[in-house]
Structure 1
Amino acid sequence: MDEITPSRTWRVPAGLPAAKLAGAVLLVALGLLFADGDSVRLVVAALAAAALAGWAARDLVAPVRLAVDSDGLTVIRGFAGRRLLPWSAVEAITVDRRPRLGLTSETLEIDAGESLHLLGRYDLGATPEEVAAELRAARPDTTG
């Protein structure tokens, strides 16, 4: 049986994991520079750097966050797993907009009944509005 190739995928922008890793290195360097013998400062900097490095590792291990094909949507699940949502399970595809600190954030929401999948611009490498439009266009017409 042939493996189904997704007709379209959305992934984390290529430079984002590198920026996160650079931030982790910077946190360690600042921790070493400003610890002044205080082990608590150094431990906090190391923990923050480890969390940032883990976040970057997820981007490297599972860069594709969303894929669409004729069978449905494949979304990221957990750290690096995948879950196929058949079109029949997808109840709604919407974009949530919220003003925050003078800026508006957008999140793609995929409602699959028992689960809700939220993806932002940095998960998709595109605006959630653009992705939502493509997903709606790719969805088979079930009204006929």
Structure 2
Amino acid sequence: MQERSAASRSWRVPPAHTVLKCAAAVAAAVLAVLVGDGRGTLLAGVVAAGFAVLAVRDLAAPVRVAADGEGVTVVAGYIGHRRLPWPEITAVRVDERRRLASRTRLLEIQTGDDLYLFSSYDLGADVYDVADALLALRGTAAG
């Protein structure tokens, strides 16, 4: 988490995650070159491209959510941003689902027409903490 001021906060992809994605892209690309058969080369190349696409997104738009007294700015699409004034936001909540031995938690920011989802990997923080901080900022904006 990166904090700009008491009334402005932002959450970003942890740099270590971006480094891992870059390293995985390079490793898969090297593997693609070293593999002798066509199918293995193709598979490793696709994996390298996938990790590269994820790494480029992290580098181009590292801040996924930023909020202040006026509203929230979220990543929309691949690397675009969208400003959501507080009155447009209908809900900020955490969706938690359990399946078998796994648990998934996503921060949901909902407007009338759109739903933005962020994991702890996107935010570099626990989604419950981010939801609490957003609701606190929303409360100071309303009051």
Q: Normalising by structure 1, report the TM-score.
A: 0.88
The alpha carbon displacement at 1:140 in A equals 3.4
- Give 3-state SS (helix, strand or coil) of 1:91's partner: strand
User: Following the alignment from structure 1 to structure 2, what is the Cα–Cα distance between the partners of residues 94 and 30?
Assistant: 42
Q: CA deviation at 1:40?
A: 2.2
Q: Deviations over 1:6-43 (max 9, x none)?
A: 7000000011111001111222233344x33x212202
Closer/same/farther in 2, CA of residues 142 and 64 from structure 1, 3 Å limit:
closer
Q: What is the 5 A alignment of 1:49-128?
A: 49-128=48-127
Q: Deviations over 1:35-62 (max 9, x none)?
A: 33x2122022112101111110110111
2:40 match: 41
Q: Say whether residues 1:17 and 2:18 are aligned partners.
A: yes
**CA distance in structure 2 between the aligned counterparts of 1:32 and 1:97, rounded to whole angstroms:** 41
User: What's the RMSD between the two structures over aligned residues?
Assistant: 1.9
Larger Rg: 1
Counting aligned pairs with the same residue, the percent is: 43
Distance 1:142-1:63 versus aligned 2 partners, 3 A rule: closer
More strand by share: 2
Change (3 A) 1:143 1:52: closer
Question: More deviation in 132-141 or 62-71?
Answer: 132-141
Unaligned 5+ segments in structure 2 are none
